[in-house]
Structure 1
Amino acid sequence: MAAGNRWRIAGPLELLVLQPTPFCNLDCAYCYLPDRDSKRRMSDATLNRVFQFVFSSGIVEQGFTVVWHAGEPMVLPVAYYQRAIDIARAHNPGGVQVRQSFQTNGVLIDDAWCDFFKEHQVNVGVSVDGPAFLHDRNRKTRKGAGTQPRVMEGIRKLQSNNVPFHVISVLTSESLDYADELYDFYVDNEIKEVAFNIEEIEGPHAASTLGTAGVESRFRRFIGRFFDLVARDDLAISVREFDSMVPMILNGKQDEDFPPTQENSPCAILSVDCEGNFTTYSPELLGLSSSHYGDFAIGNVNTDTLESAINSDKFRNMSSDIARGLSKCRATCEYYSLCGGGAPVNKYFENGSFDSTETMFCRLNRKAIVDVIVAKLQNPTGVATDAA
């Protein structure tokens, strides 16, 4: 990556993660965002500068996705995003494809939002953790009330307006005993696309219920049972973790010279907050801070170029530490070709350094899932594995 004493701009850009406001209307127990009470928003001037910055950066090649995320993007009105899309078009004279994606808690979805989603073919992700007895443990209003009925109203609104969507469910320790109940929840509510996130250790969320003794064997049983249920019903639902991992396992190892993950590739992901501060690698880094680097922002679109940012001492130090950690993963972990070395944000907040290897995320969301899938593919009629 080094070219003389300067660093060349990497990329190409795949995800532009924009944080239009840090504010969230909910108060989820496992949230890692430190500033979700603030009602600041990204100004039109900063939006202009973001897209001018991106399209002049040299990392836009064959299109990218704008992900509106963190806090709750839908606390801002539809008109805000109509303007943002117009602004993006004004800086895109070559007509590069710019896809739009929203990750939302779902409680504000109405017909106007559905019209907007359909008009712009927005990829919509809704955060729902399953039936109310699971969802409402962690995903609460600011007054401490459960939110599941309101989320389901939003999902039904998407369905009645024929808006495609997927759901992301966060798996906590409590979730792991309820694979059947979760599966039935998705099927009964005609939810076709599911992704599982694990309760991660990031920033202010310094402990996870998944960090306790015995969790790994329970997680493996959960994944094994869920795999069986999906297979039993001829793939009635699509599960991101299965859909992504099965082809890689069946097709053999990936090219180990290049990390296959966006989070480990400089400038494949660019994240920008409401003030124009930006960083790359794991989007969750933006807004967090560390004793070693200070905050993780490497520049501001209003004052810096991408070239100046990636030639800064902070970026050089971060990137070098991430690269060393990847090298250690490549040298020591047999799962590397199916993982790509792990997410930098997990390494830093679990291990205290980017220059490190295994994390809880690796053990559960990579190693355990790979082992379960391999066992299922080798013995499709067998019972769910409970191997630790």
Structure 2
Amino acid sequence: MESIAVNTRGGVQHVVLQATPFCNIACTYCYLPDRSRFEVMRLEVVDAVAELLASAESDAEVLEVRWHAGEPLTAGPSFYAEAVALMASRLSGRYEVRHSVQTNAILVDRDWCRLFKNHSFRVGVSIDGPEEINDAHRLTRRGEGSFRKAMRGVARLREEGVPFDTISVVTPATLGRQERFLDFLENLAPRSVGFNVEETEGSHQSASLASADFEPAWQGFLERLVGWEKRTGIPVREFDRIRRSIAGSGFGAVNEQARPFGFINVDVDGNLYTFSPELVGLTHSAYGSFAIGDVWTPWPSLHASASLKAQATSIADGVEGCRRRCEYFSVCGGGAPANKLFENGTFDSDETAMCRCTVKDVTDVVVRDIEASTGHGE
């Protein structure tokens, strides 16, 4: 089978590993199909991932390894201690490996904090705001609010001196209580904050993006957020991305989610995916499984995968459509394939509600702020 021409600029830089698909809570907006399956990635899979990465043709010096897609801490700290050691033994001298984990913080204790500090993990906490906002959607498996349990974990991180970032899903409940929400984040004092709007992905259909009232309220929130960031000194992830792109640091030059092997995403069983991490474990009528092989598949066979060719061709056509028709192309490089697929039904498409909110609206706010601060908007 003929392999496709793959743009390997920058090589492999991002690896998303699903230590377990299981999650100990049941968020109403979750799209993961196997979140009730309790399985932990075998160390043989971790070792095979590391061996594959060690043999990759890549000029990247830094490798970002993100433990995500499920609640990673349910795998236990001993798993990560062994996994980190395995990866270090394979990749030392080839990459500077940086580990990060996205967690709901419920299981955080002293042992976890020790592991995070010993291995320089960057910790992200998923929390949607104060109790009445968070618990509208982030529920335990018994249908109770998860806020108080999460805050005990956050308190432990702070006590042990572990810095953390936050990611919050913004819903109408957030936008209806903006001052309360932002006061909560300020008092939490994270290293940075990030915001995801409720997305349409997998089997989950976003009620937020379907509402005509959501985007105007979101735009107002972004305007307010500019002043909040300046006053608190807490960086906002979305603003930082756009500022770096405008400054020419290259964020928009190559869209890693749209480039084959820009992301390597591995599920708990060792199946290997590329493009958007949100495609892990999902299937689609046009593509079947999005897996292009597994971690034991040699690079030539991965490059020759029929599934890779089908996905890459459609994604590239969609990116070209964005290039031709969208004036914001330079700051995003063609959008997130997963959002295009699940909102528009195909990778070969351009604008999504998600990109309007997280690229176009954010860019407009950042540009207005830059113009106001430099006097160019007068």
Q: Same fold (TM over 0.5)?
A: yes
Q: Is the 8 A contact 1:34 1:287 kept in 2?
A: yes
- 1:7 maps to amino acid: A
CA shift digits 1:105-153 (9 cap, x unpaired): 1100001100100001100000000111110001010000101111111
**Which secondary structure does the structure 2 equivalent of 1:36 belong to?**
coil
1:246 maps to 243
2:16 is equivalent to residue 23 of structure 1? no
Tell me the residue number matched to 2:234: 237
Partner residue of 1:324 out of 317, 320, 324: 317
Question: For 1:370, which of 348, 363, 369 is the aligned residue?
Answer: 363
- Structure 2 counterpart SS, 1:325: helix
- Residue 386 of structure 1 is matched in structure 2 by none
Out of 318, 332, 336, which is 1:343 matched to? Answer: 336
Greater alpha carbon shift after TM alignment, 200-209 vs 57-66:
57-66
Change (3 A) 1:312 1:139: same
Provide the residue aligned with 1:116 in structure 2: 115
Q: Which moved more, 1:204-213 or 1:87-96?
A: 87-96
Task: Say how many residue pairs are matched.
Answer: 373
Give the counterpart letter for 1:242 in structure 2.
Answer: F
Task: Indicate the residue corresponding to 2:165 in structure 1.
Answer: 166
Equivalent residues of 2:7, 2:259 under 8 A apart = no
1:269 match: 263
What TM-score results when the alignment is normalised by the length of structure 1? Answer: 0.91
Range that drifts further, 318-327 or 45-54: 45-54
Contact conserved, 1:140 with 1:146, CA < 8 A, in 2? yes
Q: Residues 45, 356 of structure 1: CA spacing in aligned structure 2 closer, same or farther, 3 A cutoff?
A: same
Q: How does 1:81-120 map to 2 (within 5 A)?
A: 81-120=80-119
Q: Work out whether residues 21 and 38 of structure 2, in 8 Å CA contact, stay in contact via their aligned partners in 1.
A: yes
Paired position in structure 1 for 2:156: 157
Q: Are 2:3 and 2:303, in contact at CA under 8 Å, matched by a contact in 1?
A: no
Once residues 117 and 317 of structure 2 are traced to their aligned partners in structure 1, the CA distance between those partners, rounded to angstroms, is: 44
Does residue 284 of structure 1 match 2:278? yes
Instruction: Pick closer, same or farther for the CA change 1:40–1:46 going to 2, 3 Å.
Output: same
How far is 1:95 from its partner?
4.9
Contact kept in structure 2, 1:54 and 1:60, CA below 8 Å: no
Matches within 5 A, 1:34-53: 34-53=33-52
User: Quick one: distance in 2 between partners of 1:312 and 1:48?
Assistant: 22
Given the superposition, is the C-alpha separation of residues 99 and 133 from structure 1 closer, same or farther in structure 2, using an over 3 Å criterion?
A: same
Given that residues 135 and 145 in structure 2 are in contact (C-alpha distance below 8 angstroms), is that contact kept between their aligned partners in structure 1?
yes
Partner of 2:292: 298
Show the 5 A alignment for 1:128-147. 128-147=127-146
Stretch of structure 1 that moved more, 311-320 or 116-125:
311-320
User: SS at the partner of 1:140?
Assistant: coil
Q: Which runs of 5+ in 2 are unaligned?
A: none
1:78 and 1:106 map into 2 onto residues whose CA distance is: 13
SS of corresponding position for 2:136: helix
* Residue 243 to residue 172, structure 1, CA distance change in 2 (3 Å): same
Given candidates 368, 372, 375, the residue that maps to 1:379 is: 372
- Matches of 2:338 and 2:36, distance apart in 1: 22
Q: So what's the TM-score if we normalise by structure 2?
A: 0.94
Name the residue aligned to 1:313: 306
Alpha-carbon separation, structure 2, partners of 1:91 and 1:253: 30
Q: Deviations over 1:278-318 (max 9, x none)?
A: 1111001010110000011000113x113212212211111
Aligned residues with identical type, % of pairs: 39
Shift of 1:254: 6.3
Identify if the C-alpha distance between structure 1 residues 41 and 187 changes in structure 2 by more than 3 Å, giving closer, same or farther.
same
The separation in 2 between residues aligned to 1:248 and 1:200, in whole angstroms, is 23
Report the CA distance shift for 1:351/1:76 in structure 2 as closer, same or farther (over 3 A): same
Q: Following the alignment from structure 1 to structure 2, what is the Cα–Cα distance between the partners of residues 95 and 345? A: 31
Letter in 1 for 2:310: N
Paired amino acid for 2:334:
G
Amino acid at match of 2:343: E
Q: Secondary structure at the match of 2:369?
A: helix
Aligned to 1:385: none
Return closer, same or farther for 1:46/1:230 CA change in 2, 3 Å cut-off. closer
SS at match of 1:38: coil
1:126 match: secondary structure: strand
AA at the equivalent of 1:347: K
Q: Distance in 1 between matches of 2:94 and 2:344?
A: 43
Query: Is the contact between residue 285 and residue 345 of structure 1 (CA under 8 Å) also seen in structure 2?
Result: yes
Identify the residue that residue 333 of structure 1 maps to in structure 2: 326
**Unpaired runs of 5+ in structure 1?**
383-388
SS at 2:91's partner residue? Answer: coil
SS at match of 1:59: coil
Q: CA deviation at 1:42?
A: 1.1
Matched, 1:358 2:351: yes
Separation in structure 1 between the aligned mates of residue 371 and residue 282 of structure 2, nearest angstrom: 42
